[in-house]
């Protein structure tokens, strides 16, 4: 009888043979359930690591992009109006005499805000306004008039990175308004003077502040601003409508004050106590004392010849439903405005005239 070996091992055949393939298949079928589970778990872990690494790389890229956009001031958010302060920069816009603010408010109602304001975060969580004083003022007036906090209680704002120096913030404010046609030489001169007076800036000379602030402006324009500084430094506190002073009148008046310093006292005496004067009244005084005939300064913006420029700022705003849609009406001292989706120029002139006469007769008879 043939003796059986303790270990009956079949040696593998030559590689590539049918016997070798069969042996491999036999080993595979003999793998235990535990071994199969371990293999599957290892493969799952490898796949999970690949997914996690891809997610981590995407998050890192998004974080880097966010930091880049934040450094450029391209992050925009909705900020509550009561979180925005206007203390840090002395504005280059005259307060309380903005005749175009109503037009801006109408545009905001109709199409919304297309250009967000710019703010800088403060350490206490609030924000300092850098650009967009008129837009902020319009939002605040609309909130006060409508009480609609959902629409007008927050404003789109580009958030600048913290830490930029005052010089850079002033430049941002000035450069934005330089491209606007309605920024006056008096307002630019006042900005340069305020910048030089600001204890947080290095410059103390308004003339040199012009070169720093208005670097983007041509030389001739900077020269005009410096001459308006001479005018505003002498009469700024006495003038109520300085932004309305045309360039030619301002330059002539600055030269006249150099030659005849006593004009300061004469102008001050004529304007003192004249509380009901309009922009046209004030310009007439300046033009007369500067010996500048009317008509020589027509190259600059003109004041509106209405009583709405008096200190009285009482205003009534109405929205009335009509068969043509919602009519938006604004009534102030000396001004009545009606906005409606209707081409009134296409109507017969006599029809419009008759309707206006009936309206005015009715209003004035009731007022009387």
In a domain, residue 49? The reply is yes
In a domain, residue 327? The reply is yes
Structural domains counted in the chain: 2
Q: Which of 22, 53, 71 is the last residue of a domain?
A: 71
In a domain, residue 51? The reply is yes
In a domain, residue 130? The reply is no
Contact of 198 with 216, CB cutoff 8 Å: no
Q: Structural domain of residue 42, as residue ranges? A: 33-71
In a domain, residue 303? The reply is no
Q: What predicted TM-score, i.e. pTM, was given to this entire model?
A: 0.49
Q: Which of 22, 46, 71 is the last residue of a domain?
A: 71
- Rounded-to-10 torsion of CA 185, 189, 195, 197: -160
In a domain, residue 176? The reply is no
In a domain, residue 288? The reply is no
Q: Which of 13, 41, 71 is the last residue of a domain?
A: 71
In a domain, residue 126? The reply is no
User: From the CB of residue 147, how many other CB atoms can be counted at a distance below 10 Å?
Assistant: 9
CA 117-120-125 angle, to 5 degrees, is: 115
Tens-digit pLDDT string for the chain (368 aa): 555 555 555 555 555 555 555 555 555 555 567 777 777 777 788 888 888 888 888 888 877 777 777 666 677 889 999 999 987 776 655 555 556 678 788 888 888 888 888 888 888 889 988 888 888 989 999 999 999 999 999 999 988 887 777 777 777 777 766 655 567 899 889 989 988 888 888 888 999 999 888 887 888 989 999 999 999 999 988 999 998 899 999 999 999 999 999 999 999 999 988 888 888 899 999 998 887 665 555 444 444 443 344 444 456 777 778 877 777 777 777 677 787 777 777 777 788 888 888 888 887 775 55
Contact of 187 with 133, CB cutoff 8 Å: no
């Amino acid at each position: 009888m043939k003796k059986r070996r303790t270990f009956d091992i079949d040696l593998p055949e030559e590689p590539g043979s049918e016997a070798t393939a069969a042996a491999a298949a036999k080993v595979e079928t003999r793998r235990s359930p535990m071994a199969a589970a371990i293999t599957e778990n290892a493969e799952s872990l490898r796949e999970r690591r690949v997914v996690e690494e891809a997610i981590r790389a995407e998050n890192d890229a998004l974080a880097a992009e966010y930091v880049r956009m934040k450094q450029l001031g391209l992050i925009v958010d909705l900020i509550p109006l009561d979180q925005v302060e206007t203390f840090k920069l002395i504005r280059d816009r005259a307060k309380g005499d903005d005749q175009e603010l109503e037009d801006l408010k109408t545009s905001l109602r109709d199409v919304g805000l297309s250009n967000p304001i710019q703010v800088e975060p403060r350490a206490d969580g609030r924000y300092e306004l850098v650009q967009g004083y008129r837009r902020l003022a319009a939002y605040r007036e609309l909130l006060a008039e409508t009480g609609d906090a959902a629409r007008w209680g927050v404003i789109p704002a580009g958030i600048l990175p913290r830490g930029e120096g005052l010089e850079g913030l002033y430049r941002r404010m000035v450069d934005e308004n330089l491209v606007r046609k309605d920024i006056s030489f008096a307002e630019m001169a006042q900005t340069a003077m305020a910048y030089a007076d600001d204890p947080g800036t290095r410059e103390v000379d308004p003339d040199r502040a012009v070169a720093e602030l208005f670097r983007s402006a041509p030389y001739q324009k900077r020269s005009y601003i410096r001459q308006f500084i001479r005018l505003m430094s002498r009469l700024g506190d006495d003038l109520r409508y300085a932004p309305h002073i045309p360039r030619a009148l301002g330059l002539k008046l600055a030269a006249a004050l150099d030659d005849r310093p006593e004009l300061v006292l004469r102008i001050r005496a004529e304007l003192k106590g004249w509380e009901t004067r309009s922009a046209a009244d004030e310009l007439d005084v300046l033009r007369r004392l500067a010996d500048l005939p009317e008509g020589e300064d027509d190259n600059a913006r003109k004041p509106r010849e209405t009583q709405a420029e008096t200190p009285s700022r009482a205003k009534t705003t109405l929205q009335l439903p009509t068969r043509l849609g919602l009519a938006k009406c604004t009534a102030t001292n000396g001004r009545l405005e009606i906005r409606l989706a209707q081409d009134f120029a296409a109507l017969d002139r006599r029809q419009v005239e008759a309707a206006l006469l009936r309206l005015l007769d009715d209003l004035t008879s009731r007022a009387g």
